[in-house]
Amino acid sequence: MAKTIEWIGEFDGHLRLLDQTRLPTETSYLDCRTVEDVWQAIKRLSVRGAPAIGVAAAYGVCLAGDSEASAAAACDYLATSRPTAVNLFWALDRMRAAIADHQAPRLAARLLTEARAIHAEDHELCAAIGRHGADALADLPTGAGILTHCNTGALATGGDGTALAVIFELHRRGREPKVYADETRPLLQGARLTMWELMERGVDATLITDSMNAQVMREGRVGAVIVGADRIAANGDAANKIGTYAAAIAARYHNVPFYVAAPSTTFDLTLASGNQIPIEERSDDEITRGFGKQTAPDDAKTYNPAFDVTPAELITGIVTELGVFEPGKVAEALTAAASK
């Protein structure tokens, strides 16, 4: 697998990102040498996925130089790139703390140490999520169908992913999962990115459009659904790529267990419910001129929310690096873990 995020050099180096807007037909990289370069990469989805956005933003602060004022300004600026993924704000809070507690002479070296720590920690979180999720799905028969939505693999994180980490772990264990990947409209992260990752790893994968998943469940092809999240409220409501909520409704109707996989950094315990999660709205061009081809009349009105919120009551379990929990019990588990 190509590296999604890589810091080149030492504290005076730069950030290299795999440009995910070019996949699957082209593997190319962006060399980000300024804070603005990183902001633009996040905004245009050259790097995407909540954990990966957080890691990229942390490295972005390192490009601000040795000045406390410029580093703090970089944190504030990068926080405006995308509003929904809470990992972005968590990582930037870590960088703000590093600015505050650094000792002379080199702030830049301290910032790079912290960014590398955030990256390494996410790698370990992904591995743990994969193990716990595979354990939770251990009762599925070998060769069972698993449906996923959007992209939640190595392209979206600092490690093997969240929901896809579970699938990769099942594959490593010889369980031969048969994955149904939602195309994930309008930007086709499932078709372009998830299928690319699954095929690179030799996982049996079938691409379907989002509107097909209920029929696939009705036909008995799906033993479980597992997706990621960009922000999870204290009650277990989970925001994820638009279309996830519909998949959860279909899963409940067809008695298919529905899991959300996310690290503890994706939880926002300051929000009581998903009604408080900010939902990013994106350009109408993504609907009317997707990938450069006009598919709607000129001046067509659009509504383009990038995310929806799946209520906790539709979620069977939330897979974290700490284990698998009922949605309503995750906040308690995270609070207990933080107190140790």
Give the mean pLDDT of 85-107.
90
Answer yes or no: is pLDDT of 8 > 90: yes
Mean pLDDT, rounded, for 233-256: 98
Beta bridge partners of residue 178, listed in sequence order: 145, 204
Residue 104, pLDDT score: 64
**284 catalytically annotated:** no
**Does residue 1 have a pLDDT over 70?**
no
Q: Give the max Cα distance, the chain.
A: 64
In angstroms, the CA 206 to CA 197 distance is 12
* Amino acid 204: pLDDT: 98
Whole-number Cα distances in Å, 321 to 96, 228, 264, 329: 25, 13, 7, 15
Q: What residue numbers does the annotated binding site for substrate cover?
A: 48-50, 82, 189, 240-241
Q: Which domains does the chain have, with CATH numbers?
A: 5-123 (1.20.120.420), 133-339 (3.40.50.10470)
Reported pTM: 0.92
Give the helix/strand (H/E) hosting 115: helix 107-136
State the Cα–Cα distance between residues 296 and 277, nearest whole angstrom.
Answer: 30
The neighbour count for residue 75, using CB atoms within 10 Å, is 23
Residue 338 has pLDDT above 80, yes or no: no
Question: For residue 88, which of 133, 43, 140 has the smallest C-alpha distance?
Answer: 43
Q: Please, are residues 140 and 175 in contact by the beta-carbon 8 Å criterion? A: yes
Q: Choose, from 182, 230, 237, 308, the residue flagged as catalytic.
A: 230
Averaged pLDDT, 131-157: 97
Annotated binding site: 48-50, 82, 189, 240-241
Peptide bond into 186 cis (omega under 30): yes
Q: What is the mean pLDDT of the segment spanning 78-102? A: 93
What's at 250, amino acid-wise?
A
Pick the more confident residue, 105 or 294.
Answer: 294
